[in-house]
Structure 1
Amino acid sequence: MRLVLVLASLATPVTAWEFTPGLPCVLNHVEDGIAVELTHDPTQPLFTITLTRPTPWPEAEIFALSFQGGSDLTITTNRHELSDAGRSLTVTDRGFGNVLNGLILNDTATALIGGAAVPFSLTGADGPTRAFADCAVDPAV
Protein backbone atom coordinates (compact mmCIF):
# COMPACT_ATOMS: atom_id res chain seq x y z
CA MET A 1 0.00 0.00 0.00
CA ARG A 2 2.83 2.40 0.81
CA LEU A 3 4.37 1.81 -2.60
CA VAL A 4 1.08 2.78 -4.27
CA LEU A 5 0.96 6.02 -2.25
CA VAL A 6 4.58 6.87 -3.09
CA LEU A 7 4.02 6.21 -6.80
CA ALA A 8 0.82 8.24 -6.78
CA SER A 9 2.59 11.18 -5.15
CA LEU A 10 5.32 11.09 -7.81
CA ALA A 11 2.72 11.25 -10.57
CA THR A 12 1.00 14.27 -9.02
CA PRO A 13 2.53 17.58 -10.12
CA VAL A 14 3.99 19.86 -7.49
CA THR A 15 1.70 22.83 -7.01
CA ALA A 16 3.72 24.94 -4.59
CA TRP A 17 5.85 27.90 -5.60
CA GLU A 18 9.43 27.21 -4.51
CA PHE A 19 12.39 29.57 -4.14
CA THR A 20 15.97 28.29 -4.24
CA PRO A 21 18.79 30.72 -3.45
CA GLY A 22 22.06 30.48 -5.30
CA LEU A 23 23.74 31.56 -8.47
CA PRO A 24 21.36 31.79 -10.16
CA CYS A 25 18.45 32.25 -7.78
CA VAL A 26 15.49 30.12 -8.92
CA LEU A 27 11.72 30.44 -8.48
CA ASN A 28 9.63 27.59 -9.85
CA HIS A 29 6.12 26.25 -9.96
CA VAL A 30 4.63 23.19 -11.64
CA GLU A 31 0.96 22.46 -12.14
CA ASP A 32 -1.06 20.44 -14.59
CA GLY A 33 -0.17 21.62 -18.08
CA ILE A 34 2.65 24.08 -17.33
CA ALA A 35 5.95 24.50 -15.52
CA VAL A 36 7.13 28.01 -14.68
CA GLU A 37 10.76 28.78 -13.84
CA LEU A 38 12.32 32.17 -13.17
CA THR A 39 16.04 32.63 -12.72
CA HIS A 40 18.16 35.58 -11.74
CA ASP A 41 21.92 35.92 -11.91
CA PRO A 42 22.70 38.98 -9.76
CA THR A 43 26.23 39.16 -11.20
CA GLN A 44 24.87 40.10 -14.63
CA PRO A 45 22.08 41.21 -13.68
CA LEU A 46 19.98 38.95 -15.86
CA PHE A 47 16.48 37.50 -15.39
CA THR A 48 14.73 34.72 -17.30
CA ILE A 49 11.27 33.25 -17.22
CA THR A 50 10.69 29.92 -18.93
CA LEU A 51 7.24 28.43 -19.43
CA THR A 52 7.23 24.77 -20.45
CA ARG A 53 4.23 22.72 -21.47
CA PRO A 54 3.72 19.21 -22.92
CA THR A 55 2.87 20.48 -26.41
CA PRO A 56 4.69 23.10 -28.50
CA TRP A 57 3.82 26.77 -28.12
CA PRO A 58 2.56 28.42 -31.30
CA GLU A 59 5.08 30.59 -33.09
CA ALA A 60 4.06 34.24 -33.00
CA GLU A 61 5.72 37.64 -32.98
CA ILE A 62 4.25 38.74 -29.64
CA PHE A 63 4.12 36.92 -26.32
CA ALA A 64 2.04 38.29 -23.45
CA LEU A 65 1.83 37.45 -19.79
CA SER A 66 -1.42 38.64 -18.22
CA PHE A 67 -1.93 38.86 -14.45
CA GLN A 68 -5.41 38.91 -12.90
CA GLY A 69 -6.84 39.19 -9.42
CA GLY A 70 -5.91 42.34 -7.58
CA SER A 71 -3.50 44.38 -9.61
CA ASP A 72 -4.31 43.37 -13.19
CA LEU A 73 -1.45 43.83 -15.62
CA THR A 74 -0.49 42.55 -19.07
CA ILE A 75 3.13 42.54 -20.20
CA THR A 76 4.06 41.97 -23.86
CA THR A 77 7.35 41.31 -25.62
CA ASN A 78 8.71 40.30 -28.99
CA ARG A 79 11.95 39.05 -27.42
CA HIS A 80 10.84 35.53 -26.55
CA GLU A 81 12.51 32.34 -27.77
CA LEU A 82 11.20 28.81 -28.22
CA SER A 83 13.32 25.75 -27.40
CA ASP A 84 12.94 22.07 -26.51
CA ALA A 85 11.04 21.33 -29.75
CA GLY A 86 8.88 24.41 -29.12
CA ARG A 87 7.66 23.25 -25.69
CA SER A 88 9.64 25.86 -23.73
CA LEU A 89 9.16 29.59 -24.15
CA THR A 90 11.81 31.85 -22.57
CA VAL A 91 12.04 35.60 -22.09
CA THR A 92 15.32 37.13 -20.91
CA ASP A 93 15.69 40.70 -19.63
CA ARG A 94 17.77 42.84 -17.29
CA GLY A 95 14.76 43.76 -15.15
CA PHE A 96 11.63 41.88 -14.09
CA GLY A 97 9.91 44.32 -11.73
CA ASN A 98 6.53 44.08 -13.48
CA VAL A 99 6.70 40.28 -13.58
CA LEU A 100 7.58 40.03 -9.89
CA ASN A 101 4.84 42.50 -8.93
CA GLY A 102 2.38 40.54 -11.05
CA LEU A 103 3.28 37.31 -9.25
CA ILE A 104 3.02 38.91 -5.81
CA LEU A 105 -0.15 40.98 -6.26
CA ASN A 106 -2.43 38.66 -8.24
CA ASP A 107 -4.25 35.34 -8.11
CA THR A 108 -3.66 33.96 -11.61
CA ALA A 109 -1.51 34.53 -14.67
CA THR A 110 -2.13 33.57 -18.28
CA ALA A 111 0.52 33.03 -20.94
CA LEU A 112 -0.78 34.26 -24.31
CA ILE A 113 0.81 33.56 -27.67
CA GLY A 114 -0.55 32.91 -31.15
CA GLY A 115 -4.07 32.05 -30.00
CA ALA A 116 -2.91 29.87 -27.09
CA ALA A 117 -3.96 30.92 -23.59
CA VAL A 118 -2.43 28.90 -20.75
CA PRO A 119 -3.44 30.00 -17.24
CA PHE A 120 -1.59 29.11 -14.06
CA SER A 121 -2.25 29.73 -10.38
CA LEU A 122 -0.36 32.27 -8.31
CA THR A 123 -1.65 30.82 -5.04
CA GLY A 124 1.32 30.66 -2.69
CA ALA A 125 3.59 32.69 -4.99
CA ASP A 126 3.78 35.76 -2.72
CA GLY A 127 6.39 34.63 -0.14
CA PRO A 128 8.69 32.73 -2.51
CA THR A 129 8.53 35.60 -5.03
CA ARG A 130 9.47 38.13 -2.34
CA ALA A 131 12.43 35.92 -1.37
CA PHE A 132 13.41 35.70 -5.05
CA ALA A 133 13.16 39.51 -5.37
CA ASP A 134 15.36 39.96 -2.27
CA CYS A 135 17.89 37.54 -3.71
CA ALA A 136 17.81 39.50 -6.94
CA VAL A 137 19.27 42.66 -5.41
CA ASP A 138 22.48 43.51 -7.25
CA PRO A 139 25.25 43.54 -4.59
CA ALA A 140 27.12 46.24 -6.54
CA VAL A 141 24.33 48.79 -5.95
Structure 2
Amino acid sequence: MQSFHFAKIQLLLNKPHESTGTKHIKQSGTSSKGNTWSLAQRHASYASILRQSRKHAEEIVSIGLGLKNDSARIHSVQPLYTAGQVLGMRESTIKTTAAGEGNSPDEVDAMRGCVLNLLQSIQRETGWATEYRMQQLLEEWGLPNGQD
Protein backbone atom coordinates (compact mmCIF):
# COMPACT_ATOMS: atom_id res chain seq x y z
CA MET A 1 0.00 0.00 0.00
CA GLN A 2 2.92 2.35 0.55
CA SER A 3 3.82 1.95 -3.11
CA PHE A 4 0.25 2.88 -4.06
CA HIS A 5 0.37 6.10 -2.02
CA PHE A 6 3.88 6.84 -3.30
CA ALA A 7 2.63 6.45 -6.88
CA LYS A 8 -0.37 8.69 -6.20
CA ILE A 9 1.95 11.45 -4.96
CA GLN A 10 4.16 11.11 -8.04
CA LEU A 11 1.14 11.24 -10.35
CA LEU A 12 -0.34 14.26 -8.57
CA LEU A 13 2.92 16.20 -8.68
CA ASN A 14 3.50 15.43 -12.35
CA LYS A 15 -0.08 15.90 -13.47
CA PRO A 16 -0.43 18.40 -16.31
CA HIS A 17 -2.34 21.46 -15.22
CA GLU A 18 -5.86 21.60 -16.62
CA SER A 19 -5.34 25.11 -17.93
CA THR A 20 -2.63 23.87 -20.32
CA GLY A 21 -5.18 21.71 -22.11
CA THR A 22 -7.78 24.45 -22.44
CA LYS A 23 -7.99 26.36 -25.67
CA HIS A 24 -7.72 30.08 -25.15
CA ILE A 25 -9.83 31.36 -28.01
CA LYS A 26 -10.96 34.94 -27.93
CA GLN A 27 -13.37 35.92 -30.63
CA SER A 28 -14.06 39.54 -31.28
CA GLY A 29 -17.22 40.72 -29.61
CA THR A 30 -17.54 37.64 -27.36
CA SER A 31 -16.35 36.90 -23.90
CA SER A 32 -13.71 34.23 -23.43
CA LYS A 33 -14.43 34.06 -19.71
CA GLY A 34 -15.41 30.39 -19.87
CA ASN A 35 -12.23 29.42 -21.73
CA THR A 36 -9.57 30.91 -19.47
CA TRP A 37 -8.34 29.97 -16.04
CA SER A 38 -8.15 32.64 -13.38
CA LEU A 39 -5.33 32.90 -10.92
CA ALA A 40 -7.73 31.84 -8.17
CA GLN A 41 -8.69 28.67 -10.06
CA ARG A 42 -5.06 27.79 -10.66
CA HIS A 43 -4.23 28.41 -6.99
CA ALA A 44 -7.16 26.20 -5.91
CA SER A 45 -5.89 23.46 -8.21
CA TYR A 46 -2.39 23.63 -6.71
CA ALA A 47 -3.81 23.69 -3.17
CA SER A 48 -5.85 20.59 -3.97
CA ILE A 49 -2.77 18.77 -5.23
CA LEU A 50 -0.85 19.70 -2.07
CA ARG A 51 -3.73 18.61 0.16
CA GLN A 52 -4.10 15.26 -1.60
CA SER A 53 -0.33 14.69 -1.57
CA ARG A 54 -0.22 15.40 2.14
CA LYS A 55 -2.94 12.81 2.82
CA HIS A 56 -1.03 10.19 0.84
CA ALA A 57 2.19 11.11 2.68
CA GLU A 58 0.44 10.65 6.02
CA GLU A 59 -0.74 7.21 4.88
CA ILE A 60 2.81 6.24 3.93
CA VAL A 61 4.05 7.16 7.40
CA SER A 62 1.16 5.39 9.11
CA ILE A 63 1.79 2.20 7.15
CA GLY A 64 5.52 2.47 7.86
CA LEU A 65 4.83 2.49 11.59
CA GLY A 66 3.21 -0.93 11.33
CA LEU A 67 5.71 -2.69 9.07
CA LYS A 68 7.54 -5.60 10.68
CA ASN A 69 8.96 -7.50 7.69
CA ASP A 70 12.52 -6.37 6.89
CA SER A 71 12.10 -6.63 3.13
CA ALA A 72 8.93 -4.52 3.24
CA ARG A 73 10.72 -1.96 5.40
CA ILE A 74 13.62 -1.77 2.95
CA HIS A 75 11.16 -1.13 0.11
CA SER A 76 9.58 1.66 2.14
CA VAL A 77 12.68 3.87 2.09
CA GLN A 78 11.75 5.74 -1.10
CA PRO A 79 8.07 6.20 -0.16
CA LEU A 80 9.14 7.46 3.29
CA TYR A 81 11.63 9.87 1.70
CA THR A 82 8.93 11.20 -0.63
CA ALA A 83 6.51 11.53 2.30
CA GLY A 84 9.17 13.50 4.14
CA GLN A 85 9.52 15.83 1.18
CA VAL A 86 5.78 16.43 1.06
CA LEU A 87 5.46 16.86 4.83
CA GLY A 88 8.54 19.04 5.05
CA MET A 89 6.85 22.21 3.95
CA ARG A 90 5.44 23.64 7.17
CA GLU A 91 3.94 26.66 5.43
CA SER A 92 1.80 24.50 3.13
CA THR A 93 0.47 22.33 5.95
CA ILE A 94 -0.73 24.90 8.47
CA LYS A 95 -4.50 25.21 8.87
CA THR A 96 -5.71 27.73 6.38
CA THR A 97 -9.43 27.16 6.16
CA ALA A 98 -12.41 27.33 8.47
CA ALA A 99 -13.02 23.64 7.70
CA GLY A 100 -9.83 22.84 9.62
CA GLU A 101 -7.90 21.31 6.74
CA GLY A 102 -4.18 20.96 7.18
CA ASN A 103 -1.96 20.28 10.14
CA SER A 104 -0.56 22.36 12.96
CA PRO A 105 3.20 22.96 13.07
CA ASP A 106 3.43 20.48 15.98
CA GLU A 107 1.70 17.79 13.92
CA VAL A 108 4.05 18.45 11.03
CA ASP A 109 7.05 18.19 13.34
CA ALA A 110 5.72 14.90 14.72
CA MET A 111 5.25 13.47 11.22
CA ARG A 112 8.72 14.60 10.18
CA GLY A 113 10.13 13.00 13.32
CA CYS A 114 8.32 9.75 12.49
CA VAL A 115 9.85 9.71 9.02
CA LEU A 116 13.34 10.20 10.44
CA ASN A 117 12.80 7.58 13.15
CA LEU A 118 11.51 5.05 10.64
CA LEU A 119 14.45 5.62 8.30
CA GLN A 120 16.89 5.40 11.20
CA SER A 121 15.37 2.15 12.51
CA ILE A 122 15.49 0.62 9.02
CA GLN A 123 19.21 1.31 8.84
CA ARG A 124 19.89 0.16 12.39
CA GLU A 125 17.84 -3.05 12.22
CA THR A 126 18.39 -4.16 8.62
CA GLY A 127 21.72 -2.59 7.68
CA TRP A 128 20.13 -0.92 4.64
CA ALA A 129 21.66 2.54 4.09
CA THR A 130 19.20 5.34 4.81
CA GLU A 131 21.51 7.97 6.31
CA TYR A 132 21.83 9.80 2.98
CA ARG A 133 18.03 10.13 2.74
CA MET A 134 17.80 11.43 6.30
CA GLN A 135 20.50 14.02 5.55
CA GLN A 136 18.73 15.09 2.34
CA LEU A 137 15.47 15.58 4.24
CA LEU A 138 17.15 17.55 7.02
CA GLU A 139 18.76 19.84 4.44
CA GLU A 140 15.46 20.31 2.59
CA TRP A 141 13.77 21.14 5.88
CA GLY A 142 16.49 23.68 6.67
CA LEU A 143 17.82 21.56 9.53
CA PRO A 144 21.28 20.43 8.40
CA ASN A 145 22.40 19.72 11.97
CA GLY A 146 19.31 17.69 12.79
CA GLN A 147 17.87 20.29 15.14
CA ASP A 148 14.23 21.22 14.90
Give the TM-score normalised by structure 2: 0.23
Highest CA radius of gyration, 1 or 2? 2
